[in-house]
Structures are given as structure tokens and as C-alpha cells.
Amino acid sequence: MKGQFPLDKFLNKETPFYYYDTALLRQTLQTIRAEAGKHDNFSVHYAVKANANPKLLNIISMSGLGADCVSGGEIQAAVNAGFAADKIVYAGVGKSDWEINLGLDKNILCFNVESIPELEVINELAARKNKTANIAFRINPDVGAHTHANITTGLAENKFGISMNDMEKAIEAAAQMEHVRFTGLHFHIGSQILDMGDFEALCNRINNLQQQLETHHISVENINVGGGLGVDYLHPNRVPIPNFKAYFDTYAQHLKLRPGQKLHFELGRAVVAQCGSLITRTLYIKQGTHKQFAIVDAGMSDLIRPALYHAFHKIENLSSDGSCETYDVVGPICESSDVFAKAVDLNKTHRGDCIAIRSAGAYGESMACQYNCRKLPQGYITEEL
């Protein structure tokens, strides 16, 4: 829907850049609060890795969400943006000492622990500060998700988490340590999941694990089910806000929480993907033997998802109302994989036309790099244009 883009204000901006529709972001956050708020024991954390743009983080923090971080840099970014430290959870298979110390100094809510050696290091570092760290164990539930292999995280062969067979051993190890306190279990089965049956399968697995622990008189204060809810990349105009109602209802109906238990979510893509677009300009139209190329000034250094995952993003020509023609939309990077889409229909495209690559608010700007010595793309919110 071209009308939602302030094309006249784009024309003075150096491309490529990211544009964030903050009205849509706020509507999305309002929907999350409304649907999660129907359940007293649901707590939502924003997965900072999806997009750490400080202006977006500030808006998200003001909505009342917590933060899910996977690095010390993300912890600091969350604190700088106004997220309450007691709503910050820290996950990651390879936490370094300085990152753990930062979390301890900030008194974050919880460390999601992924191995017993990591648990031992957290206990040692907390002891030096005479503190007690809240920890949850990330359990690998061996639940498959209907998504891309590179963003499936819950299978037995993934690097993440502790196996179900080692769960009780890990909890027992924590009980023997003076400077950690076991507070919960953490799960995450993958990303860009649209089949609620995958989340239902996770609920069933957690129900079984809780029963198993209760036979050993082990109770759990918090259950963290990660995130994973996908967005509609095909129809960003028709479905700008994901189906949060179905998502939260699935857990409310299928997860058997115990009295007083709190359920935590870590949503990233579902919060920010649809509000962001990568804006680029057409450099050349190149006629091939059997196809034509729209060569744009954005590349895989600005948005790597198509090259990395063969991810689909809807592409629109904001400058043209001409009849549709078919193009391969490619970037200037010196790599054959620097392709945003093949055989895509666009309004007749000319040099200088503004092109929008949609649904790029998640894992776009946050994964950008300076390959080929290119500048990092700027990110602008609606209020800045």
C-alpha cells in the first residue's frame, strides 16, 4: 500500500535506509498488551536481537514490555532505552564473564542457563560479588517447528539448551550452589512459526516435564516459552499485525500452569517485522538474455535474510504506477547471492525509482554489516521525517 509511505520525504534521504512506521508499531504493542493482559500470569519480553534501534527500543520499553537479551551489549542497550532491569532476561549459549558480570551488576531478572559449566561460572562470579543470581535452565524439548532449518532451535541436534535427560541433574547441581537460585525452565523451539500446533506440541512436552519434576518434589516458579510467532511476509498490507490472540490462547488452553506460576514470552519478529521497510533506489535496469534486472543500491550487507535463508520479502515500487513488468531485484555486492527476489512483478521501473522491501523490521538493520566497505544503513522513524 504505497499511500502509507511518505515518498516526498524519502526523496531527500540517502538510500538505502530503514523506515519504521511507529503508528503500526504502537498498534502492535497495544494488541500484545490487550491479548496477553487477558491472562494475569502472562509476562512478555521483547527479543532485542530482532531490532536494537534505540528509537524503537524506547517505544517498546514505554509500552511496559520486558527485554530478552542474548549479549551484554543488548543488556546495556535495553537499560539505556529504559527497560526495567527486573524485567530483563539473558539467554545465550556462550555468555562471557564480562557479560555475566554486567547482568549481575544490573540485577537483571534471570539468566537462562544452557549448560552446567555455564552454571558453575555464574555461581563463581556471583560469589565474588556476594550476590545470588536467579537462573532458569533452557531445556531442549526436542520439538520440531515448521520453519526454516537455520531458525529451528528445539531439536536434539541443535547447539542450544540442556537435554531433557540432563534436566534433573542440572537442577540438583544448582541446589548445591550458594550463589544461584533455580527459578524456572526456559524453552524456545524456533522462529517464524505460523502453525499453532507447534506451540501446542511444546505445551504438551512442558506438561510432561512438569509432571516428571513433581514426582521428585521439584516445583518451578516460572515457565518461559520463548517466542517464535511468525508474520505474514506475503501480505504485509492485509495482515500487518500477527495473530496474537491465537498465540496466547494456545498457551492458555494447552499449558497446565500450576497455581502461582508465571508464564514468560520472548517475542521479537512478531513485534517489529511489519513496521519496518528497507528503502532503496534503482541504479540501473539491465536487460539480460531472458530476463531483466532491477539493480538497486541496497544489498545483502543491508538485508541479509534473502541471501542467508532464501527469505521472501514483498517488494514494491513506490515511484511508479506503470504496468507491471518482471524483474530480478539484485544489489551491488560482489556476490552472486546478493539477490532480493527473482522474477518479481513490479510497476515499470526506472533509474532513480524508490523501492520498498517490506516486512524488514526484524533481523534487517540488526544484522546489517559493512561488507565491501559499505556504510551501515540509517534507521528513521515516522516522527523524524
Residues 233 and 361 in one domain: no
208 plus 313 within the same structural domain: no
If you average pLDDT over every residue of the chain, what do you get? 95
**Do residues 220 and 361 share a domain?**
no
Other beta carbons within 10 angstroms of residue 93's beta carbon come to 15
Query: pTM (2 decimals)?
Result: 0.95
For residues 49 and 262, is the Cβ–Cβ distance under 8 A?
A: no
Quick one: 251 and 282 in the same domain?
no
Say if residue 87's pLDDT is above 80: yes
- Total domains in the chain come to 2
In a shared domain, residues 161 and 299: no
Same-domain status, 260 and 278? no
How does pLDDT run across 121-174, given as a tens digit for each residue? 999 999 999 999 999 999 999 886 544 444 444 445 566 799 999 999 999 999
pLDDT digits (tens, 9 = 90+) for 234-266: 999 999 999 999 999 999 999 999 999 999 999
Q: Which of 272, 291, 318 is the last residue of a domain?
A: 272
Question: Is 109 in the same domain as 138?
Answer: yes
Do residue 110 and residue 252 come from a single domain? yes
Same domain, 216 and 305: no
Residues 143 and 251 in one domain: yes
142 and 172 housed in the same domain: yes
Q: Which of 221, 243, 272 is the last residue of a domain?
A: 272
pLDDT per residue over 306-338, tens digit each? 999 999 999 999 999 999 999 999 999 999 999
- Domain match, 78 and 164 both: yes
Q: Give me the pLDDT at residue 148, please.
A: 44
Length of the chain: 385
**What CATH code is carried by the domain that includes residue 108?**
3.20.20.10
Looking at residue 147, what is its pLDDT? 45
Give the domain-ending residue among 272, 295, 328: 272
Q: pLDDT, tens digit, for every residue of 89-130? A: 999 999 999 999 999 999 999 999 999 999 999 999 999 999
pLDDT on residue 56: 98
Domain housing 359: 2-15+274-384
Give the per-residue SS3 of the chain: CHHHCCHHHHCCCCCCEEEECHHHHHHHHHHHHHHHCCCCCEEEEEEHHHCCCHHHHHHHHHCCCEEEECCHHHHHHHHHCCCCHHHEEECCCCCCHHHHHHHHHHCCCEEEECCHHHHHHHHHHHHHCCCCEEEEEEEECCCCCCCCHHHECCCCCCCCCEEHHHHHHHHHHHHCCCCEEEEEEECCCECCECCHHHHHHHHHHHHHHHHHHHCCCCCCCEEECCCCECCCCCCCCCCCCCCHHHHHHHHHHHCCCCCCCEEEEEECHHHHHHHEEEEEEEEEEEECCCCEEEEECCCCCCCCHHHHHCCCCCEEECCCCCCEEEEEEECCCCCCCCEEEEEEEEECCCCCCEEEECCCCCCCHHHCCCHHHCCCCEEEEHHHC
The CATH number given to whatever domain includes residue 315 is 2.40.37.10
Could you tell me the three cell numbers for 104? 549481575
